[in-house]
Amino acid sequence: MKTTVGNNIAKLRKAQALTQENLALYLGVSRVQISHYERGERDVSVTEMNKLADLFGVELSDLLEEDDDLQKMNLAFAFRSANSESDLDNIAFFKRVVLNYLKMQRINEL
């Protein structure tokens, strides 16, 4: 499980042109910690996974996804982002709003 989460974090981070340092600043951890996460050497807390899902514009469950086809869809949806910490906070918030809007649209269609 740690390896899958780590691989997904690395793929999403790279797809959005973010560095490990960007993620470290956003999460309030060291760059080395991000490296450990991406290599599957340490568990990522649920709080950190939620923040990353918001930042990447994906569902929390997408960070646990092992299916390559579903991962590619997640990468296609992922936004490119800026690199300052305040920009990352704003982008994560915006992506959460968009995902919530899409969920509400699906519910209304039922």
A 10 A CB-CB count for 71 gives 18
**What pLDDT does residue 70 have?**
63
Indicate the pTM of the whole model. 0.66
**What pLDDT does residue 84 have?**
61
Phi, psi of 28 (to 5 degrees): 75, 35
To the nearest 10 degrees (0 to 180), the angle between helices 46-56 and 20-27 is 120
**What pLDDT does residue 96 have?**
81
**What pLDDT does residue 71 have?**
63
Residues in the chain, pLDDT under 70: 68-86
**What pLDDT does residue 45 have?**
94
